[in-house]
């Protein structure tokens, strides 16, 4: 299951997040989303857990938990919506 983790402190590291979630089971991956230009955290990320029951337990227990004074938002990640092309050459117009 893919889990969304929001309202992360900007200094949070992937190994810290991994440690929080591994208390509930095997963590397949942790990814904090960063700005492409600055490399700075955007304050959210994703955790992938193989076992859905362990993932649900982590969501239930970690949602609202404070990390460096910030209450985390933890829930099942929604599928990414299709993105519209950004600028540049548009084949539909020619």
The Cα 59–Cα 47 span in angstroms is 10
What are the boundaries of each domain within the chain? 2-78
The Cα 43–Cα 29 span in angstroms is 17
pLDDT at residue 69 in the model: 96
pTM for the predicted model, two decimal places: 0.84
pLDDT digits (tens, 9 = 90+) for 23-58: 999 999 999 999 999 999 999 999 999 999 999 999
pLDDT at residue 67 in the model: 96
What's the topology of domain 2-78?
Answer: Alpha-Beta Plaits (3.30.70)
Q: Sign (positive/negative) of CA torsion 19, 62, 33, 51?
A: positive
pLDDT at position 94 over 70: no
Residue with tokens 């938002």: 73
pLDDT at position 89 over 90: no
């Amino acid at each position: 299951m893919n889990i969304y983790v929001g309202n992360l402190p900007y200094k949070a590291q992937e190994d810290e997040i991994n440690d929080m979630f591994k208390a509930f089971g095997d963590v397949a991956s942790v990814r904090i989303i960063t700005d492409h230009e600055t490399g700075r955290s955007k304050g959210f990320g994703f955790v992938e857990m193989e076992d859905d029951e362990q993932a649900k337990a982590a969501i239930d227990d970690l949602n609202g938990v404070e990390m460096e004074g910030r209450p985390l938002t933890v829930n099942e990640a929604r599928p990414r919506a299709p993105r519209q092309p950004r600028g540049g050459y548009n084949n539909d117009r020619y």
